Structure formats: structure tokens, C-alpha cells
Amino acid sequence: MSGDPVDASARRDTRVRIAMRAQTLVSLGDRIGRSFAADHDLGANDFRALLAVLVAEREGRPLTPTQLGRDLGLSSAAMTYLVERLVASGHLLRERDSADGRRVILRYADHGFEVAAGFFGPLGDRTAAALEDVSEADLAVALRVMDRVTGAFAEHLRDLDDNRADRAPAE
């Protein structure tokens, strides 16, 4: 990168626009999630829990009710009630961890996948259509950018969690 102030200004503007698009995407995702929750008689925490379980499964990362409760900021009692509701409604399953039979892992139930696919399938179709004429090279660049932005979000969340833990009163 050259030291040209115009180049630096254009680069800064592009980074700001990427950050703004990320914020817009988060906001739209939140609104779509609230619509899904309303359509399926779920609360905000129910949807957040389902999304967290889905992401953990896709990343190959087993998620326990305790970890989920920590991620959502819920008490053990509230988490138990939430998991019971989502299991009873057919959205989630509890399974024993194959690596440690004492641990319970949360997984999506077939019914949960069907409900989610019915609602989010059209969004997937729209996304695929929007990207149809984008070259493979551009998609690869976009994926690298999204990976980096996602990494920055994750790093920021870890810092927030660490700072919160540092401020927590000793038990």
C-alpha cells in the first residue's frame, strides 16, 4: 500500500462501509429472528438458544446446557426451563456426550430442522440468487472478508467476556 493520502482515505472509507454493512446484516438478522420466534411462539431467548445450538453443531463444537446458559446470560434454573420447553416442543434433543457420558449435549431435533428450513429456506434461496452472477474469485474474496469480520466480532466478544469476568465479584 502506498503512502498516498487519497488511497488511505479510500481504504478507510471502504472499511467503514464494510463495518456498516456488517451492522446492517446483524440488525436484519435480529429482525428476521424475532419474526421466526413470533411465528413459532418462541421467546427471544428461545430463538437465541436455537441459533447458538445450530452454530455450535455446524462448527462441530458440542454445546452443553451450562455453556449455553453462560452464553445467553441465564441462570441455571432459567436455562433448565428453556431447554425443557425446547425439547418438549421438538426443537432440540438432549444427548449424552460420546466422549464423556456424564455430559449432556444439546442438538437440533429433526422437527427443529424442518421448522427452521421451512422458515429460513426462502432466505437461503434469495441469498443464492443474489450471489448467482458473482464470480468464484469474488466469492472467495468475500468469504475471506466475512471470515475476518466474523473473527473480529468473536475477538471483541471474548474481550467483553474476559472484562466482565475480571469485574465479577468473587464467590
Under 8 Å CB-to-CB from 54, ≥6 apart: which residues?
108, 116
Checking if the pLDDT of 134 tops 90, the result is yes
Alpha helices (H) along 40-108: 44-58, 65-72, 76-88
Taking only the tens place, the pLDDT of each residue in 92-121 is 999 988 888 888 999 999 999 999 999 999
Q: By percentage, how much of the chain surpasses pLDDT 70?
A: 94
pTM of the model: 0.80
Dist CA 44 CA 69 (whole Å): 14
Taking only the tens place, the pLDDT of each residue in 141-153 is 999 999 999 999 9
The pLDDT, as a whole number, for residue 5 is: 72
Which of the four pLDDT bands, split at 50, 70 and 90, describes residue 31? very high
The pLDDT, as a whole number, for residue 37 is: 93
Q: Are 63 and 81 in contact (CB under 8 A)?
A: no
C-alpha distance across the termini of the chain, in Å:
51
Pull the grid cell for residue 21: 454493512
